[in-house]
Amino acid sequence: MVDLSKLTTEKRNPATMDLDEMSALEIVQTMNKEDLNVIKGVQEVLPQIAKAIEWSAQSIANHARIIYIGAGTSGRLGLLDAVECPPTFGVSYDTVVGLIAGGEGAFIKAAEGAEDHEDFGRNDLEKINCRKEDIVIGIAASGRTPYVIGAIDYAKSLGCRTVAIACNKNSKVGEHADLAIEPDNGPEVLTGSTRLKSGTSQKMILNMISTGTMILSGKVYQNLMVDVKQSNEKLISRAENIIVAATGCTHEDAAKARVDSGGMVKTAIVMILLKCSKEEAEDHLNKSNGFIRKAIK
């Protein structure tokens, strides 16, 4: 039998011993107050998160991947962050990859038993041809998930950099990884329900890793999503608004530049700021590795 009694994520929270007697308002007030501990916990591990961002940006620069892998809620959060990167940053669906124990079907229907097998984690990385240039980020609230540990061990054997995100200090998964990110959020409001504070902290950390990586990879100018994909009318409007915000041009000029650039927001911005052709703007961006600030200097 696995001993979970010493894990912070499994301990009873003294502030919620009467949870079943609280009113609806008291429940949400308590949960909101406890969520403040998530902010504090994540704040304490910002240096480790920054290191994960730097490593991830290096993988992207080497045309490799960020691979999230986890089970249950942790795996679902990794998948969620991965699938949101292409529309937000214009990267391919092979750039940030999410793997979950039990396969994609486990995203909507729990397959919790799949997390108990280390070889399942290895097998899933083998299926996507994990290579040494990739960075593998294992996500496990408890910090002991065999599926994640097996994946990290296999990734390390290939020469990958590995990161563990757990919500217990000195976690087992953290010991196996090159870098451990272990926020202490305190015990859960509902004992052992790691979809709550643990899930919130993991979501925050993944948001930071993916967004920070894309910023360091030239996918952002000022605070604008300059590689946003335009797959519907709302996103076309957003793209044109971004061009206006970045250049100060009119909406009419932004719409024309977007069309003239072939729908490439970055190119349109450089075209306007440097008063140049599409070809010249593309040349400036190629020379600057896609960074607008460098391209316009």
| Residues 107-126 pLDDT 10s | 777 666 777 789 999 999 99
- Is residue 84 part of the annotated active site? The answer reads yes
Indicate if 186 and 66 belong to the same structural domain.
yes
Task: Report the distance separating Cα 265 and Cα 285, nearest Å.
Answer: 12
Indicate if 244 and 207 belong to the same structural domain.
no
Per the domain annotation, does 3 fall within a domain? no
Residue 231 pLDDT > 60: yes
Q: 21, 44, 54, 84: which one is catalytic?
A: 84
Indicate if 186 and 235 belong to the same structural domain.
no
Domain range holding 229? Answer: 221-295
Task: Report the distance separating Cα 118 and Cα 18, nearest Å.
Answer: 38
Query: Hunting for tokens 């290895």 — which residue is that?
Result: 122
What tens digit of pLDDT does each residue of 56-70 get?
999 999 999 999 999
Higher confidence at residue 88 or residue 104?
Answer: 88
Indicate if 183 and 282 belong to the same structural domain.
no
What tens digit of pLDDT does each residue of 169-188 get?
999 999 999 999 999 999 99
Indicate if 156 and 171 belong to the same structural domain.
yes
Residue 274 pLDDT > 70: yes
pLDDT at 143: 93
- What average pLDDT does this structure show over 74-94? 95
Q: By mean pLDDT, which of 107-121, 127-141, 231-245 is the weakest?
A: 107-121
pTM listed for this prediction: 0.92
Indicate if 160 and 35 belong to the same structural domain.
yes
Indicate if 89 and 185 belong to the same structural domain.
yes
- Is residue 115 part of the annotated active site? The answer reads yes
Q: 10, 112, 115, 282: which one is catalytic?
A: 115
- What average pLDDT does this structure show over 271-280? 96
Closest alpha carbon to 38 in 240, 198, 166: 198
**Domain with 251 in it: what CATH number?**
1.10.8.1080
